[in-house]
Amino acid sequence: MKPKTLGEKYSYTFIMPALLMLFLFVAVPTIIAFFLSFTDYSILGKPRFVGIQNYRFALHDNVFRKALFNTAYYAILYVPIKVILSFLIALALTQSFINYKKTFMIFFYLPVLTSMTASSMIWLWIYQPDMGILNGILSALHLPRSQWIYGKSTVIPSISTITIWKDFGYDVVIFVAGLSGIPKELYDAAKVDGAHGWSMVKNITLPLLKTTSLFVIVTSIIASFQVFTAIYIMTQGGPENASTTVVHQIYLNAFSYLKMGRASAMSFVLFVIILFFSLIQFKIIRVEE
Amino acid sequence: MGKSKNGMKLLVYVFLIFIAILSLIPFLWSIDSSLKTVKYNYAHPLSWRPKPVAFGNYVKIFTMFSFGKNFTNSLIYAGGKTILTLIICPPAGYAFARKKFKGRNVIFILILSLMMIPSQVLLIPTFLILKNFPLVGGNNILGVGGTGFLDTYWGLILPTAVTPFNIFLMRQYFLTLPKSIEESARIDGASEFRIYWQIALPLALPALTAISIFSFQGAWNDFIWPLIVLRSRNLQPLTLGLQVFQDENFDLWPLLMAATLVTTAPMLGIFAIFQKYFFRGVSFIGTSK
């Protein structure tokens, strides 16, 4: 009996540091944020209870609504294009006749290694309206120039182009791992039965890749709702709020306007959106198991 | 049949090469631009042939931003965070995977549920916790009077070091090891700490490498957290340091590109050495869900 209790005691020593850190820097902050979201608080002075006013404000404020819309628009471009593209690339890479698979993967992974800050700087230069290479190419082809990140209708697609470029390599690696896990015999058997090309993809690859795809899709959706750095560096939400996003609004309200209560309420709106997608993922994975 | 197969092969290769070019072109273009003089770039922004080749840009940038200082700061942030992660997360993952103790499953599920909380919810409260941390940065025991951990390396490292995800990854890895490895040591009378330290931990090297790489990369490329926590220029990591070029005259594109590439180089160097572990780590994340 004694050694077992001793083992238990040790187990708690093993997990204690982690629990302490998570308690202090995740659990407690979440509770504080929840309370703050019902107050008016500017760091100076004490929080003043205001009920659900912050939530009401967030959902009626034109700028925050615009931010929700922009974020959703960004997600609708970013998620499907990136996931489908990464899947097709991974499918191409795992064909048995492909050589230099590693080399290709290294090339695709270079943007993933680059910080969002550095990527934003590079693309600021590419999108530069007067001297940038993209408008240079358009001019050379006698096509109308674009305002890219400086145009109201082009800014969100331009930003999602950058993040798709930056992130797809990560998904390629995950999809390649998933595809390599599918037993080759399944394809051989299907071939004997006369299946080929897309029918094999549809009937073997996609069903067996369901968990992997779901993981990639849900993590992409969650990431897309958190877009911030590119916006902060390249557009500051402009022109005329055409690219402000949920996290950009949280940042501005908290650290520029010092409306900490309002920003906390906005962060809980984001939390609910993300929770919705996380729960879908948990649920589907549960069902699989 | 053979002909269509070759056609297919060609098509797949063309597709992959096209995507590889798209991934690389922004880098090639920024390298090219970084080698032009500011004057030449202004006159010929689209030329691919810098005349004269201005290697001097790579010297000049060091007088414009304190690369050495920024680089050291990035290294302290990323290194400190990685070391703390390695000390705290693996023992917790080990205990959850290999030991039985009261409340194990409940605690583990609580930790997993913390994964759903987006980091943006934590921004404001964590900022407040750091600011009011007792007995540091001029604060008294009640956490008032000073700036706490704000504007310090600890303020960067502590809140981000331990993530539920890293504990989860370590647990998943330890679960795959056979039970027998500890048993003989236990019969020999080795202490629980020795079993962990000398037997289990060395076997977990692939998982340890994975969490190290991703902690390091996460901190190295982090933007929003340093933006919020830091005030002093001399603590800024590279991601913030790059911004001085944005404050300056915007015609300095070649210098901005040179600086951007220089900040990206260390991560590429790490990738060149540990490339195998990057891919394994990402695959592991994608398949261990």
CATH number assigned to the domain comprising residue A249: 1.10.3720.10
At residue B3, the pLDDT reads 62
Alpha-carbon distance of B42 to B54, in angstroms, equals 14
| A97 falls within a domain | yes
Residue A4 predicted with pLDDT over 80: no
Q: What integer pLDDT is reported at residue B1 of this predicted model?
A: 46
Does residue A100 sit in the same domain as residue A12?
A: no
Q: Is residue A90 situated within a structural domain?
A: yes
Cis status, amide bond into B52, omega within 30 of 0: yes
* Cβ contact A122–B267 (<8 Å): no
Q: Does A258 touch chain B (CB under 8 A)?
A: no
B23 and A95: CB-CB below 8 Å? no
Residues A81 and A7 grouped into a single domain: no
Q: How many residues would you count in chain B?
A: 289
Distance from CA of B38 to the nearest CA of A (A): 12
Rounded-to-integer distance, Cα A22 and Cα A206, Å: 37
At residue A200, the pLDDT reads 82
Percent of chain A with pLDDT over 70: 96
Burial class (CB in 10 A: 0-12, 13-18, 19+), A9: exposed
pLDDT(B156) > 90: yes
The predicted structure's pLDDT at residue B185: 80
Do A32 and A173 belong to one domain?
Answer: no
Higher pLDDT, B251 or A6: B251
Q: What is the pLDDT of residue B288?
A: 66
Tally of structural domains, chain A: 2
Q: How many CB atoms lie within 10 A of CB B251?
A: 13
Q: Could you read off the pLDDT of B171-192 as tens digits, one per residue?
A: 999 998 888 888 888 888 888 8
Read off the pLDDT of residues B99-139 as tens digits, 9 standing for 90 and up. Answer: 888 889 999 999 988 988 999 999 999 999 999 998 887 88
Check if A122 contacts B (Cβ < 8 Å).
yes
Whether residues A238 and A167 fall in one domain: yes
In a domain, A125, yes or no: yes
Residues A118 and A209 in one domain: yes
pLDDT at A7: 64
Mean pLDDT of A57-84: 96
Instruction: Check if the beta carbon of residue B118 is closer than 8 Å to that of residue A271.
Output: yes
Chain-chain contact of A33 with B125 (C-beta, under 8 angstroms): yes
How confident is the model at residue B40, as a pLDDT? Answer: 82
Domain coverage including residue A25: 2-36
Residue A43 lies in a domain: no
Condensed to tens digits (0 to 9), the pLDDT of residues B196-233 reads 888 899 999 888 988 998 899 999 999 999 999 998 88
The residue-averaged pLDDT of A165-172 equals: 96
**Closest to B120 (Cβ–Cβ): which among A12, A17, A250?**
A250
Whether residue A76 is predicted with pLDDT greater than 90 in this model: the reply is yes
Both A226 and A93 in a single domain?
Answer: yes
The answer on A65 and A18 residing in a single domain is: no
Residue A279 and residue A147 share a domain: yes
ipTM: 0.89
User: Which 8-state DSSP code applies to residue B65?
Assistant: S
- All structural domains of chain B: 65-241 (1.10.3720.10)
pLDDT digits (tens, 9 = 90+) for B13-40: 999 999 999 999 999 999 999 998 888 8
Chain A residues closer than 8 Å to B246 by CB: 233
What pLDDT does residue A5 have? 47
Examine the domain organization and report whether A22 and A70 are in the same domain. Answer: no
Angle (CA) A151 A166 A211, round 5°: 120
* Percent of chain B topping pLDDT 70: 97
C-beta of residue B121 within 8 angstroms of C-beta of residue A33: yes
pLDDT grade for B247, boundaries at 50, 70 and 90? low
Query: Residue A2: its pLDDT value, please?
Result: 41
Round to whole Å and give the CA distance between A71 and B43.
Answer: 38
Mean pLDDT of chain B: 88
Contacts of B273-277 with CB under 8 Å at 24 or more apart are B274/B209, B274/B213, B275/A106, B277/B206, B277/B209, B277/B210, B277/B213
* Residues on chain A touching B170 (C-beta within 8 angstroms): none
Residues listed for chain A: 289
Chain B contact set for A10 (CB, 8 A): 99, 192-193
Per-residue model confidence (pLDDT) at position A288:
62
- Residue A148 confidence (pLDDT): 93
B167, B221, B228: residue with CB nearest A18: B167
Asked, for residue A184, whether it belongs to a domain, the answer is yes
Q: Which residue has the higher pLDDT, A4 or A113?
A: A113
Q: Are residues A82 and A163 in the same domain?
A: yes
Res A191 pLDDT > 50? yes
- The three-state secondary structure class of A151 is coil
Give the mean pLDDT of A67-74. Answer: 97
Residue A41 in domain: no
pLDDT above 90 as % of chain B: 45
For residues A29 and A117, membership in a common domain is answered with no
What's the CA gap between A158 and A149, in Å, rounded?
6
Show residues of chain A in contact with B6, CB under 8 Å.
none
- Residue A193 inside a domain? The answer is yes
Confidence (pLDDT) at B64: 77
Q: What is the mean pLDDT of residues A7-27?
A: 89
B90 has a pLDDT exceeding 80: yes
Average pLDDT over residues A141-149: 91
Helix (H), strand (E) at residue A41: strand A39-42
pLDDT at A289 over 70: no
Give the pLDDT mean for A274-282: 86
Residue of B nearest to A196 (CA): B5
A236 has a chain B CB within 8 A of its CB:
no
Q: Using the structure block, give the residue that is written with the tokens 């926590």.
A: B229
Residue A1's pLDDT band, with cuts at 50, 70 and 90, is: very low
Q: Are residues A114 and A155 in the same domain?
A: yes
Query: What pLDDT is stored for residue B124 in this prediction?
Result: 94
Q: Which contiguous run of DSSP H or E holds residue A158?
A: helix A155-180
**pLDDT average, residue stretch A74-97:** 95
A6, pLDDT greater than 60: no
